[in-house]
Amino acid sequence: MLRKQVLIALGMLAAVVVCLVVASRALGSHDGGAVATAERLALAGRWLLVPGFCLLAGLGLTANQRFLRADAIDGGPAAKPGFLEINLRYNQNTLEQTVLAAIAWTGLALTVAPRDLGLIPALAALFAAGRAAFFLGYLYAPWARAFGLGLTFYPTLAAMIWLAARPFA
């Protein structure tokens, strides 16, 4: 068990490093002056399509697996561990991550300085990369999903802590 814990910790640490590098490059990268509230919300909404497509891909894979497998066509739980079970776990986690990202990205869109709005597309890129790494890592071994989970979880966690710590305007 200790070996797996070390591997998970290394995956999460690598994710934190990648997130910090991406965020540091995104902050201050947006051009222009003041941005209207509607434009800020439109920016968040547009980039929330990325988590939506990640979830859509997982749901499509599930539908395909259920159609092609006799033991899954009736829609019950996966009869045995494997691809379908991993895909169902991916879908559940992606739904959870998407809801939290929607809260965080909308809050960021409404509160960050205009020059920092480039953070939202950067978070979307981290989300997509994270979901792909989560799924592929899970197929390899359950502990290998840590890096992908970190790429989606830690930016959202940081954003929500930052938003909660801000005084109300």
Instruction: Look up the domain containing 134 and give its range.
Output: 2-165
pLDDT for residue 161 = 97
Q: What is the domain-level CATH number for residue 43? A: 1.20.120
Looking at residue 62, its amino acid is: T
Task: Give the integer Cα–Cα distance in Å for 15 and 150.
Answer: 5
Domain tally, the chain: 1
State in Å, rounded, how far the first CA of the chain is from the last one: 48
pLDDT digits (tens, 9 = 90+) for 71-105: 778 777 777 778 898 999 999 999 999 999 999 99
Cβ-Cβ contacts under 8 Å for 22 (sequence gap 6 or more): 122, 125, 126
**0.85 exceeded by the pTM?**
yes
Residue entry with tokens 């970190």: 150
Cβ-Cβ contacts under 8 Å for 147 (sequence gap 6 or more): 11, 12, 14, 15, 130, 133, 134, 137
